[in-house]
Amino acid sequence: MFQFNGFNMMFPDHSRPFNTTYKCYSVSMLPGNERQDVENGGKIIMPPSALDQLTRLNVVYPMLFKITNGSINRSTHAGVLEFVADEGKIYMPYWMMHNLALDQGDIVEIESVSIPVATYSKFQPQSVEFLDITNPKAVLENCLRNFACLTTGDLIAIKYNNTTYELSVLETKPGPAVTIIECDMNVEFAPPIGYTEPQRKEKEEEPMTIDPTELMPEPTGFVAFKGEGTRLDGKKKKDNGTNDAPATQRQTYVRGIPDYDHPYGLLRFDRSVRKMDQLESKLEDSKFQEFQGEGFNLKKNRK
């Protein structure tokens, strides 16, 4: 049996996935200028040798990787942003290292994977301050452009208005790990940690500041004993210290009774016809007429 080792070296097995180990460091340890685009996203930076090896393998695009901390058997998923890291090292956002419980220089396993496209995800903010954002879905959609995939159980960090908000990924569909590149994903938010529903207080009836009787119209026409008293001898009336004006008698205030059986949304208009002649006759009969009584003489007539 003949073995063609040289032929096998020229044409490697394309079905073999990418699987290797690297030392991981946070983005702050990357040489050069500060890379906030990496820190505020969900992608990693790998060495150029990884790109050379990936091009020789049958890797599904976009390139997605499963990052595993073998010491505690915890994993997450990420995309790749650039291949400019030093050989044997990868750089990742600090929140990703925190999820995997990694320190600077720890060994992680990188494996190429193919995961389904996201259709649904649910997030839970870790602080009540997230409610101060006017349109949280639009802010999240803009921030997730720097991410390639989501993993259920991860605690991602997004930055908005110079403030970093942490969101827990509670659920993803159709699987525990999904890619969010060019997808139509429905997003829901769970109540933030520490949020309490406001309690509705029953509105107490406040006492009326204005007496309703003062709003009643003053009586018109003749009002008995409305004038001031005058002495017959022409002398001035003694002042007893009461200079208060006589109280005006107003109509009695009668509070209306609402119709609790009135159907909702129904308007009624009173269109009954009233004869003006009858109303005017009733008003004339009810008018007060002065000096209509009988006269009496105090002195008896002598016969």
- Break the chain into its structural domains and give their ranges: 19-112, 120-189
CA–CA separation, 226 and 13 (whole Å) = 117
CA–CA separation, 151 and 123 (whole Å) = 11
Q: Which one, of 35, 50, 57, 60, lies nearest residue 114 by Cα?
A: 60
CA–CA separation, 62 and 80 (whole Å) = 9
Q: Which long-range contacts (CB under 8 A, 24 or more apart) does 191-200 make?
A: 191/124, 192/124, 192/125, 192/126, 192/127, 192/128, 192/130, 192/131, 193/124, 193/125, 193/126, 193/127, 193/128, 194/127, 194/128, 195/128, 195/131
Q: Domain 120-189 class?
A: alpha beta
- For tokens 């389904």, the residue is 116
Q: Is 269 helix (H, G, I), strand (E, B) or coil?
A: coil
Q: Quick one: 204 exposed, middle or buried, by C-beta within 10 A (0-12, 13-18, 19+)?
A: exposed
What angle is formed at CA 62 by the lines to CA 60 and CA 64, rounded to 5 degrees?
85
Q: What is the pLDDT of residue 219?
A: 66
DSSP 8-state class, residue 104: T
105 in Cβ contact with 25 (< 8 Å): yes
Q: What is the pLDDT of residue 11?
A: 47
Low-confidence ranges of the chain (pLDDT < 70): 1-16, 205, 208-209, 212-213, 219-227, 237-251, 253, 273-291, 300-303
Q: What is the pLDDT of residue 43?
A: 92
Q: Domain 19-112 class?
A: mainly beta
pTM above 0.75, yes or no: no
Could you tell me the two tokens for 105?
């220089």
Q: What is the pLDDT of residue 35?
A: 77
Q: What is the pLDDT of residue 162?
A: 86
Q: What is the pLDDT of residue 77?
A: 94
What angle is formed at CA 173 by the lines to CA 171 and CA 177, rounded to 5 degrees?
80
CB atoms within 10 A of CB 45: 20
Asked if omega into 31 is within 30° of 0 (cis), the reply is no
CB atoms within 10 A of CB 22: 23
Q: What is the pLDDT of residue 17?
A: 79
- Longest CA–CA span in the chain (Å) reads 173
Could you tell me the two tokens for 123?
């997030």
CA–CA separation, 115 and 200 (whole Å) = 46
- Those residues with Cβ within 8 angstroms of residue 176's Cβ, 6 or more apart along the chain or in another chain: 151, 152, 153
55 in Cβ contact with 18 (< 8 Å): no
DSSP 16-54: SPPEEEEEEEEGGGSSSS--HHHHTSSEEE--HHHHHHH
